[in-house]
């Protein structure tokens, strides 16, 4: 142990300054006639910056509109109409006498509670109970936002605090002049010095004609990503490999583009010292929720999306009505339940990248305001077109299920609203929304249900979870389930279809049933994913990996990728057999777990 470690950082608050000085003194020595890199850029910026003044305006507008969200729009039509819409929805349900406890009737009630009646209170209570139950059981673990306070935590910390330094995973966004834009922990303004240090490191290496990607120290990795005038940095002591962390930085950058578009670059061309924080004001929740999803949502590293398990007919019904509206000038119509797709339809030739869907869904689910009323918001899809805003009409049918209609036209609100009303009517009539709630309760594929024989069980077209009564599923979770996963010690699997850009993941069950265990498992998957998909030498075909936590088996073919986690003591031969059975099982149920055919982005 170096004896004067302490001396070099003992002046905790000054250590950033110290590093900067170290780097700066050298920079000065080396570049005598160019006192600083940023001065240079400034000069360039002036040249390039004259082109577009509207960019900043556009973005500022966007910020206003996002903070006020649809209230503005609502005001145009007046709140009365909202009430009417909701009232009708509820009454329709009552008439239908829907017995499904999770039906969409209560959906907007939180938002319009001013009209609460006696029965509505009952409903609200019931809904809360359901929510609580949902949280504890089926989806509670993976749906992170329920279990976490929204927004940033530990704002009082800065780089001098021991607690801040000990956080396992930091994310920073800063500008190329070193101005902080976002920090996962701590107050950005207090981190100005630290941010300048990060900038100094990046530009120091850049001045040497290189680009820094990774610094490793003990358990820590510092990962850098430069996107034009935006620098992103992750400092992590989790075991995630470089490839995963840099992929996460890409997503964070993408999330920023969703909110601002890439035209924010022009602001930096005009003024390198441009302060971006006000533009992102209030979007902390969006970033924190994305960061939490890195270890909870496999879509973040698989670059694929997942569907809510539904009968083929139900999904067809949803798809058909979405197709109707897509034909009327909507670019994309997406019906989602939490982070899972129910159905989605795109206008001709338009294709939607799974990463865009992930970022869009995160943007919507993390912003509380979208839940309370219908909204019309500018959003940018970075993979679709990073330079332009689309406009998203967003509406929650119930607590979990929401509709996104994307258009290129900024004045399509009323048209989209009409579309939504039409869609809602059809969905209710065809029981899609109640089916969705039922699916949420039942969950998808449980490893315990993996058929032992290679062929589907007797009886024509079995359904997922059909053999299990609804009470069954709650009971098995109420009593401590003593099972040890599926056959041959199978604990969990993820199957990704290459052509569909979709994956299906088995439900989390014992022994992977705490958030910590889930996180650990997903990190193990990330590691094996990165190892399989090495840029230079991958993709590998098969990988077997056993450590003290798991046996992981991965199988990559032209059609699919399978990731399976077993008990660390699992027998190799049996595990391989089980993997084959899983693949067969998925194929048997592909009608229910995947969105087939209709999607335009499968080719």
Partner 1 sequence: MGLSSTDTSNEAIQLCIFDLRRGQNEGQELDKILFFFPAGLPFSKQLSVIGLSEGLITFTRIFSPEAACEVIEAERNSHVFYEAEPDIWMVMVVEKSNDSEPIYRDDALRKVLKEIHSLFVMFHGSIRAMLEKETGGGLIRRHLHSFIMDYLRDFFVGKKLLLPSFHDCLKERGTVQMLTIGREAAIEVQSLVRVLESSAGNTPCYSLILFQDLLDDTINLFAYAVLRLTPHALSSGASSWSYLRKGNTASNVAAESNLAHPSSFSESFYGPTDVPHAGENQYHVVRPLQHDKWSKGKDGYLVTDIWGAEIGTWTYVTPTVWLRQTEERMYLCAYQHRSLTLILLVPVSSILTGEQGVSMVKRQVIENASLKILKVEEKLTKGWGGENAYHVSGYRYLLVDGDRNVSRTSPAAKVATLTKDSLLAMNKVRQEVELEKSRAKLDNSACEKDLEICIRAKNNAWVIARVTRGKELYMVLEKGNETLLYASDAVEKFSNRYCNGAFSLD
196: contact with partner 1 by CB under 8 A:
no
- Minimal distance, residue 171 CB to partner 1, in Å: 14
**Minimum distance between the CB of residue 230 and partner 1, rounded to whole angstroms?**
18
Q: Is 210 in the site for partner 1 (CB under 8 A)?
A: yes
Comparison of 225 and 357: residue with beta carbon closer to partner 1: 225
What tokens does 105 get?
């009737």
- Minimum distance from CB of 236 to partner 1 (Å)? 9
Q: Could you tell me which residues come within 8 angstroms of residue 180 by beta carbon, excluding any fewer than 6 positions away?
A: 172, 173, 174, 188, 189, 191, 192, 194, 195, 277
How many whole angstroms from its chain centre is CA 409? 26
Distance in angstroms (rounded) separating the CA atoms of residues 338 and 326: 22
In this complex, which beta carbon is closest to partner 1, that of residue 52 or of residue 543? Answer: 543
Is there binding between residue 537 and partner 1 (CB under 8 A)?
yes
Using CA atoms, how far apart are residues 27 and 12, in angstroms rounded to an integer? 23
DSSP assigned state of 139: T
Edge-to-edge strand order for the sheet containing 375-379?
Answer: 340-346, 332-337, 401-407, 390-396, 375-379
Q: How far is the CB of 460 from partner 1 (least distance, A)?
A: 35
Helices (H), 69-167: 71-77, 79-96, 118-136, 144-147, 162-165
Tell the smallest beta-carbon distance from residue 512 to partner 1 (Å).
Answer: 20
Q: Residue 14, interface with partner 1 (CB under 8 A)?
A: no
Closer residue to partner 1, CB minimum distance, 359 or 553? 553
Containing 368, the helix (H) or strand (E) segment is helix 368-372
DSSP secondary structure, 275-312, as one string: --GGGGTT-HHHHHHHHHHTTT-THHHH--EEB----H
Stretch that binds partner 1, among 104-112, 312-320, 464-472, 535-543 (CB under 8 A): 535-543
Q: Using CB under 8 A, count the residues that bind partner 1.
A: 62
User: What is the CB neighbour count within 10 angstroms for residue 38?
Assistant: 16
548 scored as a contact of partner 1 (CB under 8 A): yes
Q: How far is CA 105 from CA 94, 110, 261, 419, 460, in A?
A: 9, 11, 36, 19, 34
CB 365 within 8 A of CB 292: no
SS3 for 143-168, per residue? CHHHHCCCCCCCCCCCCCCHHHHCCC
580 binds partner 1 (CB under 8 A): no
Q: Determine if 521 is a binding residue for partner 1 (CB under 8 A).
A: no
| 8 A C-beta contact, residue 110 and residue 120 | no
Applying CB under 8 A, which of residues 120, 124, 212, 350 lies at the interface with partner 1?
212
Which residue, 59 or 230, has its beta carbon nearer to partner 1?
230
Give the range of 117-125, 213-221, 318-326, 499-507 binding partner 1 by CB under 8 A.
Answer: 213-221
Residue 349 near partner 1 by CB under 8 A: no
Coil vs helix vs strand at 541: coil
Contact 159/17 with Cβ under 8 angstroms?
A: no
CA dihedral 167, 168, 169, 170 (to 10 degrees): 20
Q: Which is nearer to partner 1, 201 or 249 (CB)?
A: 201
Q: Which stretch binds partner 1 (CB under 8 A): 99-107, 200-208, 301-309, 311-319?
A: 200-208
Q: Which of 84, 214, 313, 469 lies at the binding interface for partner 1 (CB under 8 A)?
A: 214
Contact status: 348 vs partner 1 (CB under 8 A): no
573 CB-contact burial (10 Å; exposed 0-12 / middle 13-18 / buried 19+): exposed
CB of 335 or CB of 565, closer to partner 1: 565
Residue 543 in the binding site for partner 1 (CB under 8 A): yes
Among 143-151, 217-225, 266-274, 515-523, the segment contacting partner 1 (CB under 8 A): 217-225
Query: Which of 219, 429 has the CB closer to partner 1?
Result: 219
What Cα–Cα distance (Å) separates residue 15 from each residue in 38, 223, 236, 335, 509?
22, 20, 19, 50, 46
Which of 576, 511, 586, 497 is CA-nearest to residue 544?
576
Is 275 an interacting residue with respect to partner 1 (CB under 8 A)? no
Q: Give the nearest distance from C-beta 265 to partner 1 in angstroms.
A: 21
| CA 328 to the chain's CA centroid | 29
Residue 221 or residue 438: which is nearer to partner 1 going by CB? 221
Q: Using CB under 8 A, pick the residue from 77, 189, 216, 467 that binds partner 1.
A: 216
- Candidates 8-16, 275-283, 477-485, 594-602; binding stretch for partner 1 (CB under 8 A): 8-16
Binding to partner 1, residues 121-160 (CB under 8 A): 159
Q: Does 18 bind partner 1 (CB under 8 A)?
A: yes
User: Within 13 Å and on the Cβ side, how many CA atoms surround 494?
Assistant: 26
Between residues 219 and 457, which has the closer beta carbon with respect to partner 1?
Answer: 219
Contact by Cβ (8 Å): 420, 328: no
Identified binder of partner 1 from the candidate list 110, 133, 154, 165, rule CB under 8 A: 165
Asked if residue 540 binds partner 1 (CB under 8 A), the reply is yes
Min dist. Cβ of residue 25 to partner 1 (A): 6
211 interacts with partner 1 by CB under 8 A: yes
- By the rule CB under 8 A, 601 interacts with partner 1: no
CB closer to partner 1 out of 210 and 479: 210
Q: Strand, coil or helix: what is 373?
A: coil
Q: Does 597 engage in binding with partner 1 (CB under 8 A)?
A: no
Indicate the residue among 246 and 248 with the shorter CB distance to partner 1: 246
d(CA 351, CA 365): 22
Nearer to partner 1, 209 or 459 (CB): 209
Segment 219 to 258, residues that bind partner 1, using CB under 8 A: 219-220, 222, 235, 237, 239, 242
- Report the nearest approach of partner 1 to the CB of residue 43 (Å): 23
Instruction: Provide the binding-site residues for partner 1, judged by CB under 8 A.
Output: 1-5, 8-9, 15, 18-20, 22-23, 25-27, 29-30, 159, 165, 197, 200-201, 204-205, 208-220, 222, 235, 237, 239, 242, 531, 534-548, 572-573, 576
């Amino acid at each position: 142990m170096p004896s004067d470690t302490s001396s070099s950082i003992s002046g905790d608050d000054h250590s950033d300054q110290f590093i900067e000085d170290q780097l700066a003194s050298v920079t000065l020595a080396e570049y005598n006639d160019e006192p600083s890199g940023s001065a240079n850029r400034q000069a360039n910026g002036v040249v390039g910056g004259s082109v577009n003044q509207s960019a900043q305006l556009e973005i500022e507008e966007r910020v206003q509109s996002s903070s006020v969200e649809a209230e503005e729009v609502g005001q145009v039509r007046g709140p009365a109409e909202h009430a009417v819409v909701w009232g009708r929805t509820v009454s329709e349900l009552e008439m239908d006498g829907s017995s499904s406890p999770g039906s969409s009737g209560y959906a907007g009630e939180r938002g319009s509670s001013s009209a609460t009646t006696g029965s509505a209170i009952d409903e609200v209570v019931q809904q809360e109970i359901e929510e609580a139950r949902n949280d504890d059981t089926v989806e509670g673990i993976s749906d992170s936002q329920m279990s976490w306070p929204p927004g940033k935590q530990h704002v009082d910390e800065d780089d001098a605090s021991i607690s801040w330094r000990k956080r396992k995973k930091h994310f920073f966004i800063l500008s190329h002049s070193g101005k902080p834009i976002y920090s996962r922990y701590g107050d950005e303004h207090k981190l100005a010095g630290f941010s300048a240090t990060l900038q100094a490191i990046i530009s120091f290496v850049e001045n040497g004609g290189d680009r820094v990607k990774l610094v490793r120290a003990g358990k820590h990795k510092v990962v850098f990503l430069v996107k034009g005038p935006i620098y992103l940095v992750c400092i992590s002591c989790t075991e995630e490999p470089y490839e995963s962390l840099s992929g996460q930085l890409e997503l964070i950058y993408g999330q920023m583009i969703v909110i601002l578009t890439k035209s924010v670059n022009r602001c930096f061309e005009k003024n390198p010292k441009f302060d971006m924080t006000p533009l992102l004001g209030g979007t902390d929740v969006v970033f924190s929720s994305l960061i939490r999803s890195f270890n909870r949502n496999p879509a973040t590293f698989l670059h694929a999306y997942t569907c809510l398990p539904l009968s083929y007919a139900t999904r067809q019904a949803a798809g058909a009505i979405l197709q109707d509206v897509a034909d009327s000038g909507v670019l994309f119509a997406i019906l989602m339940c939490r982070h899972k797709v129910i159905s989605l339809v795109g206008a001709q030739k338009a294709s939607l990248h799974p990463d865009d869907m992930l970022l869009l869904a995160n943007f919507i689910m993390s912003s509380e305001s979208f839940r309370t009323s219908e909204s019309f918001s500018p959003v940018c899809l970075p993979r679709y077109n990073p330079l332009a805003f689309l406009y998203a009409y967003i509406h929650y049918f119930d607590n979990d299920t929401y509709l996104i209609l994307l258009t290129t036209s900024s004045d399509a609100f009323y048209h989209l609203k009409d579309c939504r009303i039409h869609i809602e009517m059809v969905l209710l009539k065809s029981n899609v929304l109640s089916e969705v709630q039922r699916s949420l309760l039942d969950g998808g594929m449980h490893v315990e249900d993996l058929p032992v024989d290679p062929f589907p069980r007797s009886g024509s077209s079995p359904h997922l979870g059909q053999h299990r009564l609804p009470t069954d599923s709650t009971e098995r979770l109420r009593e401590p389930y003593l099972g040890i996963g599926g056959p041959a010690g199978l604990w969990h699997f993820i199957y990704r279809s290459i052509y569909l850009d979709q994956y299906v993941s088995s439900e989390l069950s014992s022994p992977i049933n705490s958030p910590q265990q889930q996180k650990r498992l997903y990190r193990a998957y990330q590691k094996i994913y990165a190892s399989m998909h090495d840029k230079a030498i991958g993709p590998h075909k098969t990988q077997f990996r056993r450590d003290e936590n798991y046996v992981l088996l991965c199988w990559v073919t032209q059609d699919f990728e399978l990731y399976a986690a077993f008990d660390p003591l699992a027998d190799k031969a049996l595990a391989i057999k089980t993997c084959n059975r899983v693949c067969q099982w998925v194929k048997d149920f592909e009608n229910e777990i995947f969105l087939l055919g209709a999607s335009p982005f499968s080719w």
